[in-house]
Amino acid sequence: MAGHIYNELIISFTDNNETGVEYEADITAENIVQESMKLTQSICDESYLKFGGCIASEFSIDLLSTNERIFTQNLVGRWISVKLIKHTVSNRPIYPSNTLCPSNTLYPGYEPDETTYYIFSGFIKSAKLSENDMNIRTVIAYDALALLYESDATNYVYREVNNSSGVFNISIALNYCLVLNGKTTIPRYEGDNWQTEILNEKYQQGTEDRPSSYINVQNHTIKNSYWAANTQTITCGELLKCLCEDLAAFGIIVPDSGKGSFKMITFKGDIIVYQYYEKLQPEEYISTGYTDYLFLTAGNTNGKTGSALSGFPMATDDAVEKSYDFTKNVTIYEPSAASGQSRTSTPFDRLIMTSSIGYRIAMNPENGDCAFSSYRPLKATVEGTPEQIVGKPITILRNKTNPDGSYQLDGNGDIIKESINSYVFKRTLSGIQALTDTIEVKGQR
């Protein structure tokens, strides 16, 4: 298809090589209902920013049965990998409308490039027939994190936290969640240095006045007296979520040609700048405060005591001066169970006991750990980007307007732009040929 710009979606069955599994050929455009693909990813299911979390991605698509190929309920339980191949010129994307990009003209003499993105790896949960067309079957799939919420870890957790002679630390618990969960083995992502930055970061034991030694974060001992006394059940998914909250990180499955791999992410990285958008609904308030965390490290054992420095930073995008305190987002109730200790172990205090780390978890922009000192809650429809952008900083450029709707101009007659700065808490990638991203960034009033 020389000289043609288009996107190609291919669904492969990654369990074809497993014993007792029937071979299933790749699903391509011939059996995919046009523009029916939808991929939803989220790092935060709260109405406010919560540090840490672990939420499964959801993939859905409509498949069309033909005389050559009929889809049945046998799809349920199968593992799939979904890749999107962009056939573009110099990686220029296809836009769904002229409000996102003024032109998509391909001039003679250009040949399209091919760029492959793996956008989902997981298992099919349901494959139901359409109410309106018996030839169409709607497939819904989730990544491996969903299986962890079906795996009970209650006995394991209670045994470990009540075992005074053993060592139950973050590293051991993480390995149990990913490898020993009884559902599936989830490898760790090896494509970057996230383990060095998050798991192997060193923190100081003791206090700032009385330092004892430095150990890797992943070797921090879990001394959760609440878990030890609790009678409620806990799944591997909930345990993994707690570990992510302990590290103030977000757990995700990175899609690949197989069943995906696990990694943790934090709010940092290159900013994605959007020049065009179809819908933009920013809130009139700004959510901030996560550069001002100062949790108490001694004197209380309820695990939820904290305070914040006064004086929230002003918004960098001219938002109305309304700020919100996020200290209520202390996540895990985990007071120290060691005899004679009174310090709490919130996700932050175990990592801010040394100036060499400082407020890394609090994401101080002066240390280069995040792009913004605040974020704007918003909902926007922008150009679709197949790369995983969940958890990353974004900027949406908007033309400033006067009360009468006309554009504000500078001294040279150019339209004045304003930057809406935020992070991607939730995104829904829709379409195939015309990709859009619906980005949601919630805030608490």
pLDDT at 305 over 60: no
Contact present, 268 and 370 (Cβ < 8 Å): yes
pLDDT single digits (tens) 2-23: 445 789 999 999 999 899 999 9
Choose the weakest-confidence range: 52-66, 80-94, 215-229. Answer: 215-229
Cα Rg, the chain, nearest whole Å: 24
Ramachandran angles phi, psi of 216, nearest 5°: -65, 145
Per domain, the residue ranges of the chain are: 6-144
The residue count for the chain? 445
Give the per-residue SS3 of 284-337.
Answer: CCCEECCCCEECCCCCCCCCCCCEECCCCCCCCCCCCCCCCCCHHHCCCCCCCC
pLDDT of residue 89: 65
- The neighbouring-strand residues paired with 78 are none
pLDDT category, 213, cuts 50, 70, 90?
low
Instruction: Calculate what percentage of the chain has a pLDDT beyond 90.
Output: 40
pLDDT at 365 over 50: no
Residue with the bigger pLDDT between 363 and 148: it is 148
pTM of the model: 0.80
Strands 436-441 and 426-430, sheet pairing: antiparallel
